[in-house]
Amino acid sequence: MTPAIVKEAKSVTLIQRSPAWIVNVDSQEKSSRLYKTFEVLIDYFHSRIFKKSYKKKVIAKYPYYNEGNIPAYDYWNQRPACSLDHDYFTSIKSDKVSIEHQEISSWEKNGIKLKNGKVVDCELAIMATGLNAQLLGGIEVMVDNRKININDTSWYRGMMFSGIPNFFAHTGYINFSWTARCEIVSERICKTIMYMNKKNLKTCTPKFMGKVSKPAIEANYVLRAMDKFPSRSYKFNNSNYLAEYMAFKWTKINDGALEFQ
């Protein structure tokens, strides 16, 4: 937001708990969906396998990073932000922009008080973060007049919840297009319904099984809401589009994790 706001505002102060990982995106780049898919996945897995060396590579690429401006978390532990044609990097060089790396203590009449005691005067505050992740829009799920606690369920392939029949829901990727996963999940849902129609089945209910769920990213809005998400997950790989694409396409619908009636 800074590149847009700084054009009109007299001054802009960015308040961050930690510097963020920000990479440039070239608006003139010509590419294809397949290539960008491959590029993003390679970037992600390099950052997982070669954490230290890849972190150094990113730091060396952008003068923005220096000894006092290094993110407190590893690259891709949270989703990297993007700067279009270096607009963010250019905007923060302006005399009108200042950055505070501190947590917020409280709201004051004239601005925001930081935990180090400093008060940032402001006429307008824009909250870019601070949300809590919410699954299913916060709706209450009832089965036979019994309220279901989603945290007590297992997340089947990131599309169904154990103990809840015929209930499908989408979720996307943390390192790729959200809608890319919605697309392959929708295809899997259609295949499941076609299978049920062919076998004259009425209900499909996932079993409670799988591994203990871990946060896909270390963003605070996710960590604060872990008790609102399923406590287990079964064959839900929310960081690998290619692997899930193949699994959804080639694995059988009745895979032993679903109960059909």
Encoded tokens for 235: 């064959």
Summarised one tens digit per residue, pLDDT across range 183-192 is: 999 999 999 9
| Residue 260: closest CA among 170, 197, 186, 185 | 197
12 with 124: CB under 8 angstroms?
Answer: no
Q: Which domain holds residue 33?
A: 2-121
Domain match, 110 and 154 both: no
Please report the pLDDT score of residue 130 as a whole number. 65
- SS3 for 141? strand
pLDDT of residue 153: 95
Residue 126 lies in a domain: no
The token pair that represents 114 in the structure block: 């930081």
**Of the candidates 216, 245, 213, which has an alpha carbon nearest to the alpha carbon of residue 76?**
216
117 and 68 co-located in one domain? yes
User: Tell me, what amino acid is at 140?
Assistant: E
What's at 30, amino acid-wise? Answer: K
Same domain, 73 and 140: no
The count of other CB atoms within 10 Å of the CB of residue 185 is: 21
Mind listing the pLDDT tens digit for each residue in 131-160? Answer: 778 888 889 999 999 999 999 999 999 999
Pair 252, 150 in one domain: yes
* Residue 228 within any structural domain of the chain: yes
Residue 213, class by beta-carbon neighbours within 10 Å (0-12 exposed, 13-18 middle, 19+ buried)?
middle
Render each residue's pLDDT in the chain as its tens digit; 261 residues: 889 999 999 999 999 888 889 999 888 888 887 787 788 878 888 888 888 888 899 999 998 888 778 888 888 888 888 899 999 999 999 999 999 999 889 999 999 999 999 999 999 998 876 677 888 888 999 999 999 999 999 999 999 999 999 999 988 887 777 888 999 999 999 999 999 999 999 999 999 998 888 877 777 778 888 888 999 998 887 778 888 899 998 999 999 999 999
Which residues sit opposite 155 in a β-bridge? 161, 233
